[in-house]
Structure 1
């Protein structure tokens, strides 16, 4: 069990994923300054109209991007360790969580599953960007599920589901399903756009045929 500062936000942070944050509330300015001084992490947990989730991810501050005269901060954090939130304490201006860290279950060989996910990701990126963006993911694939979920804009509930799964195999199976659906949808949309662009355009060598009544 550990006590860590909490930053509830309408965001799901993934281990290994970067996230810029603009800190402007007084209580969170204090929290971030304390973390900067101590070199410590704080916990980020999804909080929305459905409430505060019980599983989150710690954020490691990798860069203080800017400090404004009024005390506002822009920081870059990176997801670190997943945790389960047991209790929320309110003794400080900001929330503090009583947490236990989550470890994955026994490792399994997921190399073929990982290759499938990378191939599907390439299809998604190709369809979405017309090949102008490189996915820049090379083997060995360590926690590939989190890497992909950190890059693709899955909805928050889906990202939270991935965060809560406790084996890489389960996470990759979920990611594979999502990427396959996204690839098919994006490719259909791209084909429809390409077809629509051709509609109404005459070939350069096309000429109208004379009607039977023409001289």
Structure 2
């Protein structure tokens, strides 16, 4: 299966890939704890070279499969345990926790599409990547509603963990944080991540929130 980069994409080159159970979107912060050797080495290389890595969402049920060596390593296999569109992450802070684990703070910069994906002997995934542009404008009325919803749905503790000033959240950040934090299935989160038009992503998010709210009411 051949993967073609969009014509308007900026080619980044080969970068490490960090599959996670939680997505990262542009302009959002994400705290991580690093303990696997492959990712400790990845972080060391990134810090040494002033580079970043790509966070991509694991497909549901693939967390354990992701570390197995018998997965197809062909560049464009359709059996990969994670999605091909993720977000380039830059490291904003790091340190050691009391439990001895490496604490890492990253920020999403822009969405990326992956091709020529392989797994190294260390278990680290690498891929050639190209940026994917966000297009269009957000609806101001929906932006206000989503900001209000995010404020009501998010505790101060979560904001502290995200190291984000809740008073300075932009409409795009509010939309992307809701995609990150709300309990949507991974396929829905990924579909929103892969939506290039901001107004379409926003409208779809509102529709999924309405469905989620209706489902929660039915269970009460």
Please give the TM-score of this superposition, normalised by the length of structure 1. 0.70
Whole-Å separation in 2 of the counterparts to 1:68 and 1:117: 36
Structure 1 partner of 2:23: 12
Give 1:64's aligned residue.
94
Name the CA distance, whole Å, in 1 between partners of 2:183 and 2:167.
Answer: 17
Distance change in 2, residues 1:109/1:152 (3 Å): closer
Aligned partners of 2:138 and 2:198 also within 8 Å: no
Measure, in 2, the Cα distance between the counterparts of 1:182 and 1:91: 40
Contact 1:20–1:74 (Cα < 8 Å) also in 2: yes
Q: Does 1:78 align with 2:107?
A: yes
RMSD after superposition:
3.2
| Correspondence for 1:102 among 132, 149, 154 | 132
Q: Does 1:29 align with 2:37?
A: no
Q: Deviations over 1:93-145 (max 9, x none)?
A: 3222101110023x2351123234345556x63xx98xxx9994667523542
Q: In structure 1, which of residues 44, 47, 52 is the aligned counterpart of residue 58 of structure 2?
A: 47
Q: Structure 1 pair 140/16, CA: closer, same or farther in 2 (3 Å)?
A: closer
Matched residue pairs, number? 182
Highest CA radius of gyration, 1 or 2? 1
The Cα shift of 1:160 comes to 0.9
Query: 5+ residue gaps in structure 1?
Result: 193-215
Distance in 2 between residues matched to 1:168 and 1:7, nearest whole Å: 25
Q: Which secondary structure state, in structure 1, belongs to the residue aligned with residue 23 of structure 2?
A: coil
Gaps of 5+ in 2: 1-10, 63-78, 160-164
* 1:87 aligned onto 2:116: yes
TM value normalised by structure 2: 0.68
Select which of 137, 146, 151 maps to 1:117.
146
